[in-house]
Amino acid sequence: MSLTDFKQTIAQFWDLEETEQTELLTKIRRYANTQRSKDFAKEVKQHFDQVLFSGIEVIYEALSDEPKKWGGFFVKEYRRAFQAAEKAPNPFEILECLDEIGFADLEATAYNDQIIELIQPYLDHDNLAILYKALWNLGDFLTPSILDQYTGLEDRIKQQLSHKNWKIRFAASTTLEDLDRLPSDYKVSFWDQWKIRFLDPYHISYNLI
């Protein structure tokens, strides 16, 4: 048995009934646990593009129930995605597939710190899509107490509140608000409020929006 035996079903995950989805996630997890982590990672890389709706996000969701076992795999997938995103015409399509990893409870593991340290440099990236996803993804692994362990990280996120792009400002303010660290005097402008309401603040692409 291999992942390719049910690759098509994985790709059609979102069209399945809920019970079928649960069964498939269990099947993926059971198969993964019969493999060496290194071999499984190689198989995923060979047969699933690291883009949204290729099925790879389903694999991440299946393994997120066992964060201690698969945390190392998640770190490598984060690194692979951000490195690929720097060379891709639309980085958002790659980085969006990482969202399912955010549901893994890595807080009590060293993998959580590894992912934070991996993402931090991208807060200075010129590509808007990469910067945008770095802000969102960081929020998945930060708590107020964890944030306090990283000198200067809070200030770096706050700097993005004045970014020229409204979606970057939105991502930064949402991340800080979730951490209860949004400055008390910060006000969302009228035009930002309008854009958040009538446009799509959750998607950014091609570094042009």
**Per-chain mean pLDDT for the chain:** 94
Q: What is the pTM of this model?
A: 0.92
Residue 33 lies in a domain: yes
* Spacing of C-alpha 4 from chain mean position: 24
* Spacing of C-alpha 59 from chain mean position: 14
Residue 187 lies in a domain: yes
Write the pLDDT tens digit of every residue in 58-109. 999 999 999 999 999 999 999 999 999 999 999 999 999 999 999 889 988 8
Contacts of 1 (CB under 8 A, 6+ apart): 31
Residue 203 lies in a domain: no
Residue 208 lies in a domain: no
Average pLDDT over residues 38-45: 94
Average pLDDT over residues 36-42: 93
Write the pLDDT tens digit of every residue in 142-194. 999 999 999 999 999 999 999 999 999 999 999 999 999 999 999 999 999 99
Contact criterion met (CB below 8 Å) for 60 and 97: yes
Full domain range(s) for residue 75: 3-198
Could you tell me the two tokens for 147? 């944030």
Write the pLDDT tens digit of every residue in 98-124. 999 998 899 888 999 999 999 999 999
Residue 209 lies in a domain: no
> What pLDDT, on a 0 to 100 scale, did the predictor assign at position 2?
81
> What pLDDT, on a 0 to 100 scale, did the predictor assign at position 103?
87
Residue 86's Cβ-side half-sphere holds a number of Cα atoms within 13 Å equal to 12
* Spacing of C-alpha 18 from chain mean position: 23
Residue 147 lies in a domain: yes
Contacts of 71 (CB under 8 A, 6+ apart): 104, 106, 109, 110, 111, 112
Residues above pLDDT 90, as percent of the chain: 88
Contact criterion met (CB below 8 Å) for 107 and 146: yes
Amino acid present at 151: T
Return d(Cα 56, Cα 97) in angstroms, integer.
7
Residue 175 lies in a domain: yes
Structurally, the chain folds into a number of domains equal to 1
Return d(Cα 185, Cα 92) in angstroms, integer.
31
What is the CATH number for 27? 1.25.10
Per-residue pLDDT for 132 more than 50? yes
